Amino acid sequence: MIRGLYSAASGMFSMERKQEALADNLANAQTPGYKKDDTVLRAFPKLLINRIRDFNETANITKAAGAPKLPVQNVPIGVLVNGVYAQERIPSFNEGTLTETNQPLDMAIDDQSIPFQTVNGRQIKPAAFFGVQLPNGTMGYTRNGKWDLDANGNLVTSDGYRVLGADHRPIQIFGSIAKEDLQISDDGKITANSVNIGQIGIAVVQNPNELRRQGGNVYQSAAPLPFIQDAGGTNPGVVLHQGYIEQSNVDPGQTMTEMMATVKSYEANQKVIGVYDQSLQQLYSVGKMNG
Q: How confident is the model at residue 64 (pLDDT cuts 50, 70, 90)?
A: low
Angstrom CA distances, 266 to 112, 150, 190, 209, stand at 38, 46, 52, 28
User: Which of 54-63, 76-85, 112-121, 196-205 reaches the highest mean pLDDT?
Assistant: 196-205
Q: Which residues contact 84 (CB under 8 A, 6 or more apart)?
A: 10, 11, 14, 41, 42, 43, 44
Query: Cβ–Cβ contacts within 10 Å for residue 186, how many?
Result: 12
CA-CA distance, 60 to 69, in Å (whole number)? 9
Treating both helix axes as pointing N-terminal to C-terminal, what angle do 252-290 and 2-27 enclose, rounded to 10 degrees?
A: 160
Q: How confident is the model at residue 259 (pLDDT cuts 50, 70, 90)?
A: very high
Percent of the chain with pLDDT over 90: 57
Whether 254 shows a pLDDT value over 90: the answer reads: yes
Say whether 165 sits in a helix, a strand or coil.
Answer: strand
Q: Are 7 and 189 in contact (CB under 8 A)?
A: no
CA-CA distance, 69 to 54, in Å (whole number)? 9
pTM: 0.79
Amino acid residing at 109: I
Whether 62 shows a pLDDT value over 80: the answer reads: no
pLDDT on residue 145 = 94
Whether 99 shows a pLDDT value over 70: the answer reads: yes
Q: Average pLDDT over the chain, rounded to whole? A: 86
